[in-house]
Amino acid sequence: MTGLDDSIFDDGAHEALEDRDGELHRSRAERRKNRRRRGLRPRDDARRRRRGISCLAVLLAGVLVLAAGWFAFGSLRSLLPGWGEPNDYAGPGSGKVEVVIDSGASGSMIGRTLQEAGVVKTTSSFTAVARAEPEQAASIQPGTYAMLQKMSAADAFDRLLEPANRVAKGVTLPEGLWRSEIYERLSKGTGVPIKEYEQAEKSDELDLPPQAEGEVEGWLFPSTYEFVDDASAVQQMNKMINQTLSHLREAGVPKDEWERTLTVASIVEGEAGAADRAKVARVVENRLADPTGPTRGMLQMDSTIHYLLQKRGTVTTSDKERNTDSPFNTYKNQGLPPGPINNPGAAAIEAAGNPAEGDWLFFVTVDPSTGETKFARTQAEHQQNVQEFCRNTGSCE
């Protein structure tokens, strides 16, 4: 029998076991040491692995939730009105509709007007086009346009840029008309009876300045006007009067000279072509400034005779016509007539307010077919020009 302290292994085996255990302990010690060098511990690896697996699981779960949500939203969206539909029409449009673009309207305002009229699908589709082309958008003019329904925003934008698509609901008043002629055109264009314009002359609601003394002749500015359907005669006339006031201010005419300037401008409008307005204005001023000169301070303008006789269609007057008694007869009366003899435009107002420099006292349009006009300082020079007129027209026989 062996003693209690004897091993079941012999001494060699015991030594071998001790050597193996030492080697095992050294291997584990080395591994721990290496891990410590790398800043890791055995449990850290396991924790990191578990944490990585957990994050991946959460990420995958999130993706699945988002996918399921998107699928559900897509299914629900198809059931909601307006969702998933384009915000613009694709085609050029069809079916006519008239649209009024107000003065000063912004791109979004125009877009809203077009949407409400059924021209474009959304306001935003039109404003997107307008913002992409700001210079052309700014050139859109106010007025009534012939449009189509269900147009693409780009097509609607292009259509507004074409002047041919503007509906001429307005009234065009050329320069130099008498107020009676203006009333006829206004009545034809708006349907308001001529009598209402004549009655409006006496209205306290007219924007005439005091120096007009209630006379509208000369104050109805020539232009193209668009009026709302229910515009009264007074409202229409006020629009023209205010245009005249605006042009007087632009020409730098002092307020106390407004009536006089319009009177001179109306004579210029009746006598001169575009190239000669400022020179004719100077002739008027030169004759007025010299009451003892060749014309004795009289203007001697045929246009004033035409006005008092309400006569159109001729550039000359007869001896009998020039002998008519009237304060508007500038062959018999010195100075300006009592007021304007027509309704002058902007160029004539500018010329009257700023005459050309010169010492001319006479002028004659020697060739009415071309508008060629010659100016003279003396009566002799003027008579030579008159003879040229006679040769060109054959009207002095």
Report yes or no on 223 lying in a domain.
yes
Read off φ and ψ for residue 338, nearest 5 degrees: -60, -20
Residue 264 tokens read as: 């001179």
Helices (H), the chain: 11-37, 42-77, 107-116, 123-132, 134-138, 153-161, 179-190, 194-200, 233-250, 258-271, 277-288, 302-309, 319-322, 346-353, 379-393
Q: Write down which residue in 139, 167, 195 finishes a domain.
A: 167
273 and 191 share a domain? no
Residue 237 tokens read as: 């006339």
Strands annotated E in 220-323: 224-225
Q: What are the pLDDT digits (tens) for 60-78?
A: 666 565 655 555 444 444 4
Radius of gyration of the chain (CA): 47
Q: Write down which residue in 142, 167, 192 finishes a domain.
A: 167
Cβ proximity of 340 and 253 under 8 Å: no
List of the chain residues with pLDDT < 70: 1-85, 168-169, 397
332 and 270 share a domain? yes
156 and 183 share a domain? no
Strands annotated E in 53-134: 94-101
303 and 216 share a domain? no
Read off φ and ψ for residue 372, nearest 5 degrees: -65, 125
Q: 146 has which bridge partners?
A: 98
Read off φ and ψ for residue 206, nearest 5 degrees: -70, 145
Residue 360, SS3? coil
Report yes or no on 324 lying in a domain.
yes
Angle at 291 between CA 319 and CA 321, to 5 degrees: 15
Give the per-residue pLDDT at 104.
77
In this structure, the strands spanning 224-225 and 143-149 are: unpaired
Report yes or no on 58 lying in a domain.
no
Report yes or no on 117 lying in a domain.
yes
Report yes or no on 245 lying in a domain.
yes
Residue 175 tokens read as: 């320069």
The CATH number covering residue 145 comes to 3.30.1490.480
267 and 386 share a domain? yes
Residue 356's alpha-carbon distances to 58, 136, 279, 352, 387, in angstroms, are: 90, 38, 5, 9, 26
Taking Cα atoms as reference points, which of 194, 340, 204, 192 lies closest to residue 260? 340
Give the per-residue pLDDT at 17.
38
270 and 216 share a domain? no
Give the per-residue pLDDT at 377.
96
All residues at 6 or more sequence positions from 317 whose CB lies less than 8 Å from its CB, including other chains: 302, 305, 306
Q: How many domains does the chain have?
A: 3
Give the per-residue pLDDT at 308.
97
Report yes or no on 215 lying in a domain.
yes
Distance between CA atoms of 217 and 312, rounded to whole angstroms?
A: 17
Question: H/E element holding 130?
Answer: helix 123-132
Angle at 270 between CA 265 and CA 274, to 5 degrees: 80
Q: How far is CA 73 from the centre of its chain?
A: 44
For residue 313, the tally of other CB atoms under 10 A from its CB is: 5
All residues at 6 or more sequence positions from 284 whose CB lies less than 8 Å from its CB, including other chains: 264, 267, 268, 299, 301, 355
Q: What are the pLDDT digits (tens) for 192-215?
A: 999 999 999 999 999 999 999 999
Distance between CA atoms of 248 and 49, rounded to whole angstroms?
A: 90
Give the per-residue pLDDT at 6.
39
The sign one gets for the Cα dihedral 210, 213, 216, 219 is: negative
Report yes or no on 389 lying in a domain.
yes
Q: Write down which residue in 223, 250, 277 finishes a domain.
A: 250
Q: How far is CA 393 from the centre of its chain?
A: 45
Residue 351's alpha-carbon distances to 323, 347, 396, in angstroms, are: 29, 6, 31
